């Protein structure tokens, strides 16, 4: 049996190794499917739903679906892009995302997705939830106002022995990602930087340095998110 399979995304033929997920196969073939929670080193969980596509006319998440031969996939269509824009808008109104005062502005994936899908204003009402800012760690600030609960910090920021710096706390609508106070106390600069970089939004901010890179020169100020994949 051949180890490669072929399927189609928006009419383009995709050749992929057997066992890859749709999103991995797409990425390797220069097709961008947006994600927030899907990240290198994090097991796919289909949490954020940004990578929703239509496979043989059914909505599926591309990060959790193994690619199979003969799939007919819709990705960059007005229908699916409108759904993605809705998800972005819901994330904007369910937290407190004050871009003008955020150190992550310009490097933020949520904001970059809003730019890509041309969100001028969310179509949902702002909820202005009351959230805490935890500045107890000497190295980082954990701002719950901006957290999108993607779990990227929980899954990727660990000690050498595998202990997690971040974990879920509470449940349901109150769910939040909190820091382990003891580990946060001993956090190194390198771990703090990695945690900030791996956070798709501005929920983890490294202390004592800000706006070293001016607004206007940051990653997504000029470059549309996904163009590194699309080429």
Interface residue list for another protein (CB under 8 A) = 96, 98-102, 105-106, 111, 114-115, 118, 120-122, 125-126, 128-131, 215, 221-222, 224
Tokens 């990727």 belong to 156
Q: Give the residue with the Cβ less far from another protein, 47 or 106.
A: 106
From the CB of 13, what's the least distance to another protein, in Å? 29
From the CB of 84, what's the least distance to another protein, in Å? 16
Q: Give the residue with the Cβ less far from another protein, 74 or 221.
A: 221
Q: Give the residue with the Cβ less far from another protein, 11 or 216.
A: 216
- Contact status, residue 67 vs residue 16, Cβ threshold 8 Å: yes
Q: Give the residue with the Cβ less far from another protein, 123 or 186.
A: 123
From the CB of 129, what's the least distance to another protein, in Å? 7
From the CB of 204, what's the least distance to another protein, in Å? 19
From the CB of 220, what's the least distance to another protein, in Å? 9
Q: Give the residue with the Cβ less far from another protein, 121 or 212.
A: 121
């Amino acid at each position: 049996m051949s180890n490669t399979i072929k399927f189609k995304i928006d009419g383009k033929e995709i050749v992929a190794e057997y066992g890859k997920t749709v999103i991995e196969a797409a990425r390797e073939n220069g097709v961008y499917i947006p994600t927030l929670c899907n990240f290198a080193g994090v097991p796919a969980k289909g949490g954020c739903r940004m990578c929703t596509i239509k496979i043989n006319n059914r909505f599926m998440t591309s990060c959790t679906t193994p690619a199979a031969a003969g799939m007919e996939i819709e990705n960059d269509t007005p229908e699916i892009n409108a759904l993605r824009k809705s998800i972005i808008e819901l994330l904007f109104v369910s937290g407190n995302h004050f871009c003008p005062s955020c150190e992550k502005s310009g490097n933020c994936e949520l904001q970059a997705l809003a730019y890509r899908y041309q969100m001028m204003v969310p179509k949902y009402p702002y909820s202005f939830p009351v959230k805490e800012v935890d500045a107890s760690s000497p190295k980082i600030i954990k701002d719950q106002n901006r957290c999108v609960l993607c779990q990227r910090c929980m899954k990727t920021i660990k000690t050498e022995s595998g202990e997690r710096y971040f974990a879920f706390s509470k449940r349901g609508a109150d769910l939040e990602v909190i820091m382990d106070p003891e580990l946060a106390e001993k956090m190194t600069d390198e771990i703090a930087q990695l945690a900030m970089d791996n956070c798709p939004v501005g929920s983890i901010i490294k202390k004592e340095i800000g706006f070293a890179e001016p607004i206007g020169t940051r990653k997504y100020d000029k470059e549309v998110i996904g163009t590194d994949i699309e080429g």
